[in-house]
Chain A
Amino acid sequence: MSSFIGIEMVEEGKLSVDNLEVDEKTGNVVISVNPKIYPMNTIFSAAYILVDKAWVLIDGDPNEEIIVQLRRKDSKINLEELGRSFNNELVNYSVYNVQVEKNAILRGMIVQKALETQSQESDVKIEKKAKKAKERKTVARAKTKRKSRRK
């Protein structure tokens, strides 16, 4: 086993780089993911993005170490690049999920405000309608009074 700047030859045709294990023979790249850093939701999203380029298998222990195996669909695809793009997608979706969480409070506030103004507007409309109905009633009463006087 030889090791050089983080690259390790596991066995012939199999390279271990950072959290990746590249196997040119089988066309697989195996990625080790720490579930304490990346939650399942993020891992599924990152894996789903690569479904067109690779067959994706998820295995391992959800509490200790998650193993993601990517098997390239086309022999032209570089396995190390494929593994690294998976790592990038993990970061992308982590940032996205953090933003979604942050925006959830703000979104809730906006919706609440919109509902409040809508209910205020509808209260004003109801008041106007009641006023008009009252006016119509008084006019009708006056008319009937006038008619009865003429008789």
Chain B
Amino acid sequence: MSSHVEPNDSSSAHAALEERSRALFHDSVESLDFATRSRLTKARHAALEAASTSRRPWFFRSGFLTPAGVTAVAVLAAFLWMGSPVVHSPITAADGQSNLEDLDMVASSDDAIDMLQDDVEFYDWAEKGANSGPAA
């Protein structure tokens, strides 16, 4: 007797194997014990939390960014720039091309000012959102 298997027999045997193995697998998933399910739930929460925390900039996490903080940083930066020895260097003054003029040129750009203003407003607003109460 030949051991040859007809194509139809073979495909039906394969279909039966697929069906049975799938059923067994899903049964094994459904019968996972409570401890494993609980660990999976914790793992999911930990992953989602870690993902959200790691994507948040450091100044959001530390609570560094406040309106007062933004203002203080801006004032400090301006003070340092104005007080920079480069501004008062003889070479720069002699050339009549002070850094203050450079600053003016930058400041006169509407795009740059708008961009800076937008960013500050956005970070201020976003920081309030990050610190607001729990999600509804």
Q: Is chain B found bound to chain A in the same assembly? A: no
